[in-house]
Every structure is written in C-alpha cells, then in structure tokens.
Structure 1
Amino acid sequence: MVSNLSPDFSGDRVAAIVDELVDLEGPLLPILHAVQEEFGCVPQDALPVIAKKLNLSRAEVHGVMSFYHDFREQPAGRHTVKICRAEACQSMGGDRIAEHAKGRFKVDFGQTAPDGSVTLEAAYCLGLCACAPAAMVDGKVVGRVDEARIDAISSEVRS
C-alpha cells in the first residue's frame, strides 16, 4: 500500500489533536482544520485515526472531508490562488478568467504546479460579488479580476 504521508506525518500527533478537540460540540470539522493546519493537508492515513477516536466510520470522516473544498489530501503549493466560480462572478466573465488562470498557471482546479509554486482552486463565493469576478491569493481577496490581473498574480507567485 502506497502512503501519501508527508514526511512530518504522525498518527500520534493526529490522535493528540483529536484528544484536544474531542469535547467540542461537533468536533469533526475543527479536528480536520487542525490536522490540515498541522500537516498542510489531511492525509488519507489520518482518517482512520480520527474515525476511531470519534467512533465514526472512515467513510463518514472521508465524506465530510471531501464535501468541503478547503480540505486537501496533498499539501498545497507555496501560494494558493482561488478563482470564484459562483454565479455573480460567472456573469461578469468568471468563466473566461478561470480558463485564463488554468492556462497561465498550467494546472487545473485542485492541482499544484510541478514546481510547487502555486495551487489553483475553485471557490464558490468569496463574498465579493459587487466586485466580480473575484479571486483570493494566499487568503487576500482581489476584486475585478481580469486577464491582466491573473498574469500579474502569476508573476508574483512564481517569482
């Protein structure tokens, strides 16, 4: 069996995270966030540890993790660029911007560039509808994104 573990993965550390948060009401989401914060992703090998400690099936944990777009199975690149795919942004040219971004970064949504510089992700509303189309670069929202702005972002994250 091939593991997707990062070199820093520790089942003991995952168990400790679960133990720290298990008493919260609805602890699964906070646990998944904490694991991702610790390891840069939620490795598949962490799911059985979480499931056992919460008395859930691995499928239940995986279902929650895969439902939310913010959780990833592999670490992201050094920079994360999210392109809004919601209706307001689409109506303002978001599809064209998304295609341009995929071409410029040479990756599809959910992928990381081979050099590890950037991960491109789809977002489903960044809350910047009045300034559509919108993007988010390393947690900072950017409004009125056009092809030139995507090109500038690409240059910034790859420098």
Structure 2
Amino acid sequence: MNVHVTGNDVDERTLAIVRALKGLEGPLLPILHEIQAEFGYVPQECLPVIARELNLSRAEVHGVVTFYHDYRDHPAGRHVLKLCRAEACQSMGGDDLAERVKALLGIDFHQTTLDGAVTLEPVYCLGLCSCAPAAMLDGAVHGRLDIDGAKDLIAEARR
C-alpha cells in the first residue's frame, strides 16, 4: 500500500491486524508481514501496540524488525528491486553488477530514487544459485542477470 500514516489510524489498523493473527502459533512474524503489507513498511508507532498485545517488550519486537532484512522502517518506492548478495551471485559477478545498478539508479542499498520509482534492497539468497547473478523486481525473479538485463528492469520500473 505504501502510505505514510500517523496517530490513531496506525493504532487502530495495527490493533485489528494483531487481534486477527495473535491466535497463531508464533504470531509475531505473520503480524509484521501483514503490517508491512498494509502500510508498505513497519511504522515505529506499531511496535508498542504489538508488544502490548503479544505481552512482549518493545525491545523484543524492535529486535525482530531490525534483524530481518525484509522489514522496512520507511515507505518503499513504487517498485522494489532486490539484488542477491549471496556467495553464488557474488562469484558470478554480482558485486560488479550491484555497483553498476547503484550507479544507474544514483542510490545505495536501502534507498529510493528521487522520483520515488525504485527502492534498492540487498537480499541474501533468492534460491537461483544456478542462475546467478539473480534479482527480484516486485516479487518476480530474474536469473543470469547482466547489466543489459538490469537496465531493462530499471526501465520497466521507471515506466
């Protein structure tokens, strides 16, 4: 959804999500995923609500949010480009590809282009090791990526 919201709206929407999922075994990760799906990121205002409802400390919830790379603390761009940083992709030129993609976009990992089109994120294995280097654009995986393929993905995201 990618909407920045504040105050009571966050509390109410967070509370609805937590109450719907807290009966699950190990509900914290599904709750965080649903919150990120709802808001486009995990707003800091959600953490005390989650902690209270799950009888956890704020530190525990914060620790989980910051441990997993998939959770964002700010809204992403309209498209999210994830570049694999795992060893197989690195061995097949992933480091050079990442540097070239960062230069093309004019941003670093965890940043969004000024036009709001693309957020660039590292990911530590997409499961395409035999097709390295790999990337994911908005959930669609792309293997054997070279700079021309990366340029095509960026052009697609900027349309």
TM-score, normalised via structure 2 length: 0.94
Within 1, Cα distance between the matches of 2:12 and 2:60? 21
Query: Percent of aligned positions with the same letter in both sequences?
Result: 61
Residue 107 of structure 1: how far off its partner (Å): 1.0
CA deviation string 1:84-137 (max 9, x = no partner): 000000000000011011111111111111211000000100000001000001
Matched with 1:14 is 14
Matched with 2:27 is 27
In the alignment, structure 1 residue 75 sits paired with structure 2 residue 81:
no
Residue 7 of structure 1: how far off its partner (Å): 3.0
Query: Which residues of 2 match residues 109-120 of structure 1 at below 5 A?
Result: 109-120=109-120
Query: Which residues of 2 match residues 89-128 of structure 1 at below 5 A?
Result: 89-128=89-128
Matched with 1:142 is 142
Residue 14 of structure 1: how far off its partner (Å): 0.3
Matched with 1:84 is 84
Amino acid at match of 1:6: H
SS at match of 1:148: helix
SS at match of 2:25: coil
**Root-mean-square deviation (Å):** 1.2
Q: Please, which moves more after superposition, 9-18 or 51-60? A: 9-18
Within 2, Cα distance between the matches of 1:156 and 1:13? 33
Within 1, Cα distance between the matches of 2:11 and 2:114? 28
Gaps of 5+ in 1: none
Runs of 4+ in 1 over 3 A off after TM superposition: none
Amino acid at match of 2:154: S
The answer to whether the Cα contact below 8 Å between 1:135 and 1:145 also exists between their aligned partners in 2 is yes
Gaps of 5+ in 2: none
TM-score, normalised via structure 1 length: 0.94
SS at match of 2:30: helix
The answer to whether the Cα contact below 8 Å between 2:10 and 2:45 also exists between their aligned partners in 1 is no
Residue 15 of structure 1: how far off its partner (Å): 0.8
Amino acid at match of 1:109: F
Matched residues, number: 155
Within 2, Cα distance between the matches of 1:76 and 1:127? 23
